Chains A and B, each alone.
Chain A
Amino acid sequence: MDAPTIASEPVELGSKAVGRPGAGHPRTGPSPLMAVPALVFFGVFALLPLGGVVVLSLMRWDGIGDPSWTGFGNWVTTLSDPATYHAIWLSLQVMVVSWLFQTPVSLLLGVLLAGRGRYRAVLGVLYFLPLLLSAAAIAIAFKALLDPNFGMSRAFGVAALSQDWLGDPTLALYVVIFVIGWQFIPFHTLLYQAGVRQIPRQLYEAAEIDGAGRVRQFLSITLPQLRYTIITSSTLMLVGSLTYFDLVFVLTGGGPGDATRFLPLDMYLNGFSNNDMGRASTLAVLLVVAGLALSLGLARLAGFQRGSQLEGA
């Protein structure tokens, strides 16, 4: 029963000859100039606006008149306003609870769908449907379903479904997290499905010979082999939860009260409905810093620099 050691057995497929370009032949690789279009694109559409946001965060601008300098005025208001901390706290909750909800579900679904069989293919198509819908459409549909009088409680004739779903400040946040999950689980399922299909069959065959059961195979082969997929999916989930706001914007608009007004939504509302671009920019800078720190932290945690764990396969 030592399946983990199976995983570390190198499966030599001769990829070493293909990789590692150019150590002795500096001219064989593509010229660095090839990167110029991409760099220009990145500069114009990512770095330039980013710099603009930092500058704007030091200005007072209502979006119509002329911007004027306020120094750190916006930062002082933003950082002394309890609403900001409330939004950060909500964002953290959304991030953590979303991850806890989405990861196990999409991992299990992905493993299920990676297997062969016609029923899995049919289920797969059904599971992936939410991927085809726009966030706004999903939000409008759920809004209608969650209506306490004319929503699903009436459609299914079940009175228990007539809850104050979006009106109760505690419940609303979890409803939002559920709907976000409903939208994104298919995507992460797809990642896991692909990840599972990449795992060499030999590993499972060897494990079977060693007498490992399904659960043991899952824990000792599938999970460790999916390590990078888990990291990728988690990065997308965690950093993504800092940016997606469209669904929440349409579904609750931040309400009831400010119960679902998390950071990205707070930024949007401050900028585009309160017309306080300076303050919105401070929040944007906060979001950029948090997002960068998060993805760098996760990359470091994953140890991407340590190379493949599955030598050559």
Chain B
Amino acid sequence: MTLGKRRVALIAAGFAALLTFTAACGSSGPSGASGSTPSAWALTGGDEQTFRTSFTDAKIDGQFFGNDAYKQKIRSAVGAGQAPTLLFSWGNGGLLRSWVDAGKVMDLTPEVQKDPTLASRYLPSVAQTGVIDGKTYAVPNNGMQPVVLFYNKELFTRIGAQPPKTWDDLMALVPRFNQANIAPFSIGGQSKWPQLMWEEYLVDRIGGPDVFNAIAANKPDAWSDPAVIQANTMIQQLVDAGGFIKGFNSIATDSNADTALLFTGKAAMYLMGSWAFPTIKQADPDFISGDKLGYVTFPTVTGGKGAPDDIVGNPANYWSVSAGASDQQKQAAVDYLRTGVMNDSYVDSLLANGSVPPVNGIEAKLAKTQDPQYLSYVYGLASKAPNFQLSWDQALSPGQADALLNNLDQLFLKEITPQQFSANMNATIGQ
């Protein structure tokens, strides 16, 4: 019996040892910090194929995630010192800023000084988004994604109308489309962020870029700016007038149901990032080849201070190099940023997918693509814009972005007034 007992004790101790051992392994197993092969995490869809090809050429170990999954995973990984060598971000704000503040990404300024083309080959407004406090931390890796007002040309011909140039035009179109049993605007309200595009454009058109700059700088009561109040009042007027398709808050963008409403002729207009074009092209090629898709910039607001060609959206996505990587990995990553990213075949591959890289002097290349008209339009839009406003949810701190999307959703639902919206958002300043 005593022998049995001792054996049991031994087994138990063995188990305990085994457990602690596996637990220890679990936390140090998938380490990305050592070794010589650089790694990279990027997003699925869109430009995934371009990334994959260039990773293979540069011998980089690439992994791909969905948008939300990536944002949550990368955070834990960076916090735990398990970050990949190349970090994918949206530029100045949110993620990138938190990495810079925590000293988790490498300052690329010395590399830029060594060979300025690392940054200077990009359009200045886009390259600028990778710069924080005068230092370069990130460089672009894919196409520009300005938000554009898409419209269905066929439906406009049917009611004999022209795309709106001013907000008043837009409001006048709403009853005309509704009478013809066509929803004026499609929007994926359930995903919340499409609603933000309206807010961003209206605030810029009414008050200019300074309004959001004050918000981003956490100035007290910045959300009470008259431009914000006016923009939100106009949004609620548009909701009241039946501007958005019925049940718009049940429509999610993940399944592209909002895009489908435009090309199936259920909705006349659609405010969305430039990536809607490849989506439509894939889902209904005839809609593009039959020249039924129109696109214009967001209408102006009478008396507004903002430039009519200011745009909002995502200037691009960016690569940063992890500060925790080994020297070998860092070197390989910087080499990749110099020669692997945005080389000739890389740019061609992006263009073939319908995204427009923010590289200087590619007009000739654009003319040779399958959709020269649209791609040149996007390129012109982005290169001429006096201000390319990064999406607010990327530019603000994650906590503020979450509160913003919630409050905006309630504003669209008319659960809160523009004044309440401003008060709620003012309360998040400094969080």
Contacts and interface: CB of A to CB of B under 8 A. Distances in A.
A168 B78 contact: no
Interface in B40-98: 68, 71-72, 75-76, 78-79, 98
Contact of B8 (A34, A150, A254, A273): A34
B15 interface: yes
Interface in A127-153: 140, 143-144, 146-150
Interface residues of A, number: 44
A150 B186 CA distance: 13
B190 A252 contact: yes
Interface string A254-283: 111110010000000110111110000000
B402 interface: yes
Given A146-B250, A255-B192, A272-B75, A31 B15 contact: no
Interface in B368-424: 398-399, 402, 406-407, 409-410, 413, 415
Nearest to A252: B190
Interface in A161-216: 162-169
Contacts of A144: 255
Contacts of A41: 19
A166 B249 contact: yes
B260 A275 contact: no
B180 interface: no
Nearest to B71: A273
B9 interface: yes
A255 B190 contact: yes
B398 A275 contact: yes
26 contacts: A34-B12, A36-B15, A37-B19, A44-B23, A64-B79, A148-B251, A149-B245, A149-B266, A163-B247, A163-B250, A166-B190, A167-B189, A167-B190, A168-B249, A168-B250, A254-B406, A255-B190, A255-B192, A255-B409, A256-B413, A257-B407, A258-B406, A270-B399, A272-B75, A273-B68, A273-B398
Given A41-B19, A149-B260, 17 more contacts: A33-B12, A34-B12, A40-B15, A64-B98, A143-B252, A147-B250, A147-B255, A149-B247, A150-B260, A164-B247, A164-B250, A166-B190, A254-B406, A255-B249, A258-B406, A270-B399, A275-B398
Nearest 9 CB-CB pairings of A with B: A167-B249, A148-B247, A36-B12, A167-B250, A37-B15, A274-B399, A257-B410, A164-B247, A64-B79
